[in-house]
A and B are shown apart, each in its own frame.
Chain A
Amino acid sequence: MACQGLQKGETLESLKRESETLKKKLEEERNKLNDVELHQVAEKVEALGALSMKTRRVLKGHGNKVLCMDWCKDKRRMVSSSQDGKVIVWDAFTLNKEHGVPLPCTWVLACAYAPSGCAIACGGLDNKCSVVPLSLDKNENLAAKKKSVAMHTNYVSGCTFTSSDMQILTSSGDGTCALWDVESGQLLQSFHGHTADVLSLDLAPSETGNTFVSGGCDMKANVWDMRSGQNIQSFENHESDINCVKYYPSGDAFASASDDATCRFYDLRADREVAVYQKDSIIFGASTCDFSLSGRLLFAGYNDYTINVWDVLKGTRASILFGHENRVSRVRVSPDGTALASASWDSTLRIWA
């Protein structure tokens, strides 16, 4: 990128000073509106009753760590991807494996179901994100129909379809996110701003417009305008890598899960962090999080093999889900909120309800 000429009086030093002043001003402006804590507002809310969630299904079939999973909109199918290079489509009601797609690379870090339910996207250490159309014909070789869409210069850490099967959004170890046209493979928009690997992204719920949030190894969570590529808000509160970001169901807030063993909650209109979910006894990193349908519960998967369930409003832990025998890599609530799916390095997936 060509260097813009120096404005009169600008030097590297003066710009550094200006950026420090602006950062302080940003903090001050945010603090002025911090008139109360979220948990204080929530004091009058009725406490949660005991949650009766248990493992209802265990999905076995992957040969190695399960790294990612996603629900289909039909609320019963799921796609999962593994370190062994396999992507499996499951019927979670019956535990039938409907499709198995072997990929040439190991560590398939990301997978996603298309809105139509007719295709899946997946990617990882191959630096690509590919789309595989799902066929009703069991004998068809799906791997042969795989189409490379996204090309990054480092691993693909996350992918999602946008509102249709026509576009995918990816996050990458190359520090960028990107929007792609599935049909042509064309790069539609790229998002620069992170200063290290981007580990996760999440699209805003459709009612709230064209934005998405990303989090990464620079400990920042960034909110982006999909059309302009502009980074519109940025949050730097975590003390280590952000492994996962997820929007609150209303679209006005989002949560993050980090290696610093905390999950945090940010309100987008107040432009600040409004809650930290942590306990002295929780010392292992959180790798994934998702909200229940109403947003009252935040499920977070940790490297100590547990899933902690947080009361989002009160900031307390509501429950712990035990069962996995290794790190929990991904948790996702089903589209109608009736179940939680979790994926683990113990090579299984579990359904909790």
Chain B
Amino acid sequence: MTSNSNLSNMQRLVEQLKLEASVERIKVSQAAAELQQYCLQNAGKDALLVGVPTGSNPFREPRSCAIV
């Protein structure tokens, strides 16, 4: 690798890090509360979590066997 490409890689890295450092962030407590809220709000619709009334999950029905 030439020293020129090392240099341009480093310049790119520094620019990228500056960009990442400037991202606006929120506190984890707020982020966590919102993630949790999303889970709880949608829990009722989550069939794998709460199960659904028998008969309404097509995968839980046994397949009908065809006699060939």
**B:21-68 near A, CB below 8 Å:** 21, 23, 25-36, 38-43, 45-49, 51-52, 57-60, 63
> How many A residues, CB 8 Å from partner?
69
Contact flag A29-B25 (CB < 8 Å), given A1-B8, A51-B48, A353-B47:
yes
Instruction: Determine how close the nearest CB of chain A comes to the CB of B63; give it in whole angstroms.
Output: 7
Which residues of B pack against A, CB within 8 Å? 3-8, 10-11, 13-14, 16-21, 23, 25-36, 38-43, 45-49, 51-52, 57-60, 63
13 A-B pairs within 8 Å (CB atoms) are namely: A19-B14, A30-B25, A38-B28, A231-B19, A232-B19, A250-B35, A271-B23, A293-B49, A296-B43, A296-B46, A297-B46, A312-B35, A353-B59
Residues of chain A contacted by B39 (CB below 8 angstroms): 45, 294-296, 312-313
Contact of A337 among B17, B32, B46 (CB under 8 A): B46
Residues of chain A contacted by B43 (CB below 8 angstroms): 294, 296
B14 touches A22 (CB 8 A): yes
Q: Is the interface of A mostly helix, strand, loop or mixed?
A: loop
B29 touches A36 (CB 8 A): yes
Contact flag A297-B48 (CB < 8 Å), given A15-B10, A76-B58:
yes
Closest to B21 in A: A26
Residues of chain A contacted by B47 (CB below 8 angstroms): 293, 336-339, 353
A26 touches B32 (CB 8 A): no
A16 within 8 A of B: yes
C-alpha gap A270/B27 in the complex (Å): 6
C-alpha gap A272/B60 in the complex (Å): 39
Residue from B7, B25, B41 having most chain A Cβ neighbours under 10 A: B25
Instruction: Determine how close the nearest CB of chain B comes to the CB of A280; give it in whole angstroms.
Output: 25
Task: Identify 15 new A-B residue pairs, CB closer than 8 A, beyond the known A274-B28, A338-B48.
Answer: A3-B7, A4-B8, A15-B7, A16-B10, A22-B14, A29-B21, A33-B26, A93-B59, A95-B63, A231-B19, A249-B42, A270-B30, A293-B45, A294-B45, A297-B49
C-alpha gap A233/B19 in the complex (Å): 9
Contact of A25 among B7, B16, B21, B58 (CB under 8 A): B21
A42 touches B36 (CB 8 A): yes
Residues of chain B contacted by A293 (CB below 8 angstroms): 42, 45-49
Contact of A338 among B23, B40, B41, B59 (CB under 8 A): B59
Residues of chain A contacted by B28 (CB below 8 angstroms): 33-38, 267, 270, 272, 274
**A:22-52 near B, CB below 8 Å:** 22-23, 25-26, 29-30, 33-38, 41-42, 45, 48, 51-52
B59 touches A339 (CB 8 A): yes
B8 touches A41 (CB 8 A): no
Instruction: Determine how close the nearest CB of chain A comes to the CB of B25; give it in whole angstroms.
Output: 5
Residues of chain A contacted by B17 (CB below 8 angstroms): 19, 22-23, 26
Instruction: Determine how close the nearest CB of chain A comes to the CB of B58; give it in whole angstroms.
Output: 6
Residues of chain A contacted by B30 (CB below 8 angstroms): 270
Residues of chain A contacted by B11 (CB below 8 angstroms): 4, 10, 15
Closest to A11 in B: B7
A18 touches B59 (CB 8 A): no
Contact of B3 among A12, A42, A337, A351 (CB under 8 A): A12
A198 within 8 A of B: no
A152 within 8 A of B: no
Instruction: Determine how close the nearest CB of chain A comes to the CB of B41; give it in whole angstroms.
Output: 8
Instruction: Determine how close the nearest CB of chain A comes to the CB of B19; give it in whole angstroms.
Output: 7
C-alpha gap A267/B17 in the complex (Å): 19
Contact flag A294-B14 (CB < 8 Å), given A232-B19, A269-B26:
no
**A260-291, CB under 8 A of B: which get 1 and which 0?**
00000001011110100000000000000000
A248 within 8 A of B: yes
